[in-house]
Amino acid sequence: MVYLGRGCREQQGEFAGGVLRLAIDGQIASLRPGDAAVAPAGATIALTNPGAEPAVLLVTVRVGFSAELSDGATFVPPWAM
């Protein structure tokens, strides 16, 4: 698993392709196309792609979203500004 960080607001994702293992606060789920996941504000998120093909995850966040990354840096996606 690759630790991604902790979001300040809820994140919603819809899985569109490949295979993905997603951990939200340590609860691991395998996602396949059509599956969805919600990470509440403050949840720790990690993921890995155990498959041979690229994984595609479409993530939705509200304006003002930011995340604390594994190195402690703050990340604000351009689409959340």
CATH of the domain at 12: 2.60.120.10
Residues 74 and 11: their CA atoms lie apart, in Å, by: 16
| pTM of the predicted protein model | 0.84
Residues 9 and 53: their CA atoms lie apart, in Å, by: 30
Q: Residue 8: which domain range? A: 2-80
Q: Which residue has the higher pLDDT, 44 or 3?
A: 44
Number of folded domains that form the chain: 1
Distance of alpha carbon 75 from its chain centroid, rounded? 13
Q: Which ranges of the chain would DSSP assign to H, the alpha helix?
A: none
**19-39 confidence digits (pLDDT tens):** 999 999 999 999 999 999 999
